[in-house]
Copies of this chain bind each other. A is one copy, B any other.
Amino acid sequence: MDELALIEKIRARLTNGDERVRVGIGDDAAVLAPLRGGAVLSVDVSVDAVHFDRRWLSMEAIGRRAFVSAMSDLAAMGATPVTALLSYIIPPGLGEESVLALVGGAKSAADALGATIAGGNLSSGSELSITTTVVGEANEPTLRRAGARVGDGVFVTGTLGAAGLGLRLLAAGRADEEAARSFVLRWCELRARFDVVDRIRAIASACVDVSDGLVQDLVHICDESGTAASIELARLPTEPGHFALAASIGEDGAELALTGGEDHELLFTAPADAEVSGWATRIGEVIAGRGVTVRDEDGSERALSRTGHRHFAR
């Protein structure tokens, strides 16, 4: 592969007139116009056979998914997407067309989010990985993990466990079934919840995106806030058919909702009486202490076999 020729092809596909990017691809570094609110920065990696499986996703879908997964961290901070840098490690045998498809997936995801791609890096290596650095502009107030107060409610957008179930349906060879379709898409075509960020910023005391799994990410809020939290299993929002479909492959639907990971919904704390109908669900409360407690329908504490998602391969 001719690295320099490939970089020129990537540059031709990504160049655009974003006035927030003063210098883009083709120099030693990208230069952004000053961001009044300050820059919000995060880095995320997708590694072959750890975060995705090439049998299940096209290269374009892998590129898109890696990009959105990284951008989701900006949603969790209440930031506005601006631009990104892409760094690929490319193994022998992965051709130029595959790399361009990865870039194309990232570009389509960037377009959908009103963001651009300002630069990146290519390297050879033995294992395909996609490291995405995302840049947003901070909005006041910035959402943080710290800030939850005892007495606040715990809320989550959308539904939980669908991406985790979709992944397991893929692994079980059940992806082609009609009932599996929407779950598999939740894993394959994850979305970042920028659509509800303004509503959350108006009421939230703390926020995180659900990437590790509901319980683990709620632990993050609690640890940073110096609080504990209690959630009620019966309140967890799931997709229609979630429990039956999970049971059909020997999985516990409740466990998937609690720890499945990669939902990329937003989990936040806010006054317990906050009005969220139609876009979020109150699932528990912030209490004094440490850690997260899950209560079954009869009020008893549920023992968790694990708190979070560790990706599928390791």
Interface, chain A (partner B; CB < 8 A): 22-23, 26-45, 47, 49-51, 73-74, 76-77, 79, 85-87, 89, 92, 118-121, 123-127, 129, 131, 133-136, 138, 142, 144-146, 208-209, 224, 311, 314
| Shortest Cβ-Cβ A-B pairs, 6 listed | A29-B42, A28-B76, A28-B73, A133-B133, A47-B125, A131-B131
The chain B residue with its CB closest to the CB of A136 is B29
The 8 Å CB contact of A89, one of B45, B79, B224, is B45
Task: Report how many copies the assembly holds.
Answer: 2
Among A29, A30, A38: residue with most chain B CB under 10 A: A29
A-B contact pairs, 5 of them (CB 8 A): A31-B79, A32-B41, A33-B38, A41-B119, A89-B129
Whether B38 contacts A123 by the Cβ 8 Å rule is: no
Whether B131 contacts A87 by the Cβ 8 Å rule is: yes
Whether A31 contacts B27 by the Cβ 8 Å rule is: no
Whether A28 contacts B129 by the Cβ 8 Å rule is: no
Query: Would A138 and B41 be within 8 Å (CB), given that A127-B127, A133-B133 are in contact?
Result: no
Whether A79 contacts B131 by the Cβ 8 Å rule is: no
Complexed CA–CA distance, A255 and B152 (Å): 68
Whether A42 contacts B30 by the Cβ 8 Å rule is: yes
Taking A22-B38, A35-B39, A45-B87 as known contacts, 12 extra A-B pairs with beta carbons closer than 8 A to each other, sorted by chain A number, are A26-B145, A27-B144, A28-B208, A30-B41, A31-B40, A31-B41, A31-B77, A31-B138, A32-B39, A41-B85, A87-B131, A129-B129
The chain B residue with its CB closest to the CB of A85 is B43
The 8 Å CB contact of A126, one of B39, B76, B127, is B127
The 8 Å CB contact of A38, one of B34, B42, B89, is B34
The chain B residue with its CB closest to the CB of A30 is B41
Query: Would A23 and B126 be within 8 Å (CB), given that A41-B85, A118-B41 are in contact?
Result: no
Whether B28 contacts A209 by the Cβ 8 Å rule is: yes
Complexed CA–CA distance, A224 and B8 (Å): 12
Whether A26 contacts B133 by the Cβ 8 Å rule is: no
Complexed CA–CA distance, A284 and B306 (Å): 64
Whether A28 contacts B42 by the Cβ 8 Å rule is: yes
Query: Would A23 and B144 be within 8 Å (CB), given that A45-B87, A138-B31 are in contact?
Result: yes
Among A23, A43, A47, A129: residue with most chain B CB under 10 A: A43
> Closest CB-CB distance, A23 to chain B, in whole Å?
7
> Closest CB-CB distance, A261 to chain B, in whole Å?
13
Whether B45 contacts A131 by the Cβ 8 Å rule is: yes
Complexed CA–CA distance, A77 and B24 (Å): 12
Whether B87 contacts A43 by the Cβ 8 Å rule is: yes
Whether B85 contacts A119 by the Cβ 8 Å rule is: no
B-side contacts of A119, CB under 8 Å: 41-43
B-side contacts of A26, CB under 8 Å: 145, 224
> Closest CB-CB distance, A145 to chain B, in whole Å?
5
Whether A39 contacts B39 by the Cβ 8 Å rule is: yes
